[in-house]
Amino acid sequence: MMSRTDGSSTTITRTTRETHVTVELDPKAPGLDVAVPTFGHFLNACLTTWGYPARVEAQGDIEVDPHHLVEDVGIVLGQALTERWPGYRDIGRYGWAVVVMDDARAEVAIDLSGRAGSYLGQVPDGPVNGLDSEVFQEFWHGLARGAELTVHLTIPAGLNRHHRWEAAFKALGLALRQATAPRVGTLSTKGVIGRAGGDC
């Protein structure tokens, strides 16, 4: 994992009438302040597993529906990835992981492809601590759009919905660890990733 050593950081702030979200990569003071605690718990699992220094602050109209905030955190985290690694040069690009957590098993594969796509399968149906599972799905869709990445998530096993989602967020963290690991050059037959190219 290659954090920046020159002290510079990447900060994306997004303010709408619904939410105020900031994501900073390589911050001086990493930490999480997310107004939806259950989502914050899952996000913390993801960021911890990724192992990259990050700060996330997210407030918003959660009394209307937490899904605004959860989706926007995904978008802003994704935008921070594109800003931190322009053109996704000099990193692994692909990442995948299978994570078990007690009864639950989640599988994630990502491609920092420059093309947004999110494919979720066998995700839990029903609430976690009062939050419908649809809320957590919004994070994955937002991340794919913000980062212009492709993600496939499947959660084929598990009795406990909390375990199933937490395994998924940990698997995403491991996939990000692999996809953002340093390598030389752009891993693309076209030689470029993003609006100018892609690789399909």
Torsional sign, CA 110, 48, 52, 17: positive
Task: Report the nearest approach of Mn ion to the CB of residue 130 (Å).
Answer: 15
Residue listed under structure tokens 């759009």: 145
Report how far residue 105's alpha carbon sits from residue 2's, in angstroms, rounded to the nearest whole number. Answer: 28
Give the residue with the Cβ less far from Mn ion, 66 or 114: 66
Q: Are 78 and 143 in contact (CB under 8 A)?
A: yes
Give the residue with the Cβ less far from Mn ion, 33 or 102: 102
Task: Report the nearest approach of Mn ion to the CB of residue 153 (Å).
Answer: 17
Helix ranges (DSSP H) in 85-200 = 133-147, 161-179
Report how far residue 78's alpha carbon sits from residue 60's, in angstroms, rounded to the nearest whole number. Answer: 19
Task: Report the nearest approach of Mn ion to the CB of residue 101 (Å).
Answer: 8
Size of the site for Mn ion (CB under 5 A): 1
Task: Report the nearest approach of Mn ion to the CB of residue 189 (Å).
Answer: 41
What residues numbered 155-194 form the site for Mn ion, per CB under 5 A? 166
Task: Report the nearest approach of Mn ion to the CB of residue 162 (Å).
Answer: 6
Give the residue with the Cβ less far from Mn ion, 55 or 163: 163
Q: Which two tokens stand for residue 55?
A: 């700060």
Give the residue with the Cβ less far from Mn ion, 72 or 166: 166
Sequence-ordered list of residues with C-beta below 8 angstroms from that of 17, at least 6 positions apart, any chain: 61
Q: Are 69 and 58 in contact (CB under 8 A)?
A: yes
Number of residue whose CB is nearest Mn ion: 166
Give the residue with the Cβ less far from Mn ion, 26 or 166: 166
Residues in contact with Mn ion by CB under 5 A are 166
